[in-house]
Amino acid sequence: MPKPTFFNLPDDKRERFVAEARDEFARHPYDSASLSAIIARLGIAKGSVYQYFDDKRDLFQWLVLEAAKHKKMTVARHMPSTELPFFERLEAMYVAGLEFWREEPLWARLSLRVLEPSKDEKLEAFRRTIQRMGLEFVTSELEQAKREGAIRTDLDPVVVGSLMLATLQHGLINAYLARAGLDLSHLDDDPARAAELPETDILHVVKATLSFLRDGIGS
């Protein structure tokens, strides 16, 4: 996590540092992302980074948590203020997730980097923690859906939750990109391309996904 010296930076310098670091990790898998490239673009001494973070992994993990904050704020803006039935709630969450890609494509691309394999064993432990937290959230939604009578009571929440988590993480954005003839590799060169994709396609992709889920798990 950031050292106190990081928060002592003037706002403009801190924001530029975050933007450059975010862009580097958005465009490259963790193992090939380069602190030297970040430093070169910032025009600062190499040792400066270590005044702010312990190492590359420390910086990346903090950025992943920052990406989660940005996503949470985006979802909050797009979620209805009233309580919805399970599938309507799921639709709203899926739409909000794709809106995150349109509104903050660099943070969104970075957020998926933590799910990619890495040679760094400590980062792998962090990835498993992120995955576990995501699965706990989805399974809690499924348990509530059971209580509401919205889905079959014989379903295993962990199995279904794992499948839904994959949909929330990679499935939706891959389906959305496919409508434009793109995939995630195209966003490595220019993550901001996600912001240019048609907003009208979001609802199409979400409704198609929900139709599939209803047929499989609906009561």
124-172 tens-digit pLDDT: 999 999 999 999 999 999 999 999 899 989 999 999 999 888 887 888 8
The answer to whether the beta carbons of residues 92 and 80 sit under 8 Å apart is yes
C-alpha to C-alpha distance for 114 and 127, rounded to whole angstroms: 6
Inform me whether the pLDDT recorded for 216 exceeds 80.
no
Mean pLDDT score across all residues of the chain = 90
Is residue 27 within 8 Å of residue 35, measured between CB atoms?
no
DSSP state of 30: G
Segment 4-33, tens digit of pLDDT: 998 998 999 999 999 999 999 999 999 999
pLDDT surpasses 80 at 217: no
- 82-141, pLDDT tens digit by residue? 888 999 988 998 999 999 999 999 999 999 999 998 999 889 999 999 999 999 999 999
- What is the per-residue pLDDT for 218? 64
Domains and their CATH numbers in the chain: 63-217 (1.10.357.10)
Beta bridge partners of 151: 218
Residues 20/24/30/31 CA torsion (nearest 10 deg): -120
Q: Quote the CA–CA distance of 105 and 87 in Å, as a whole number.
A: 26
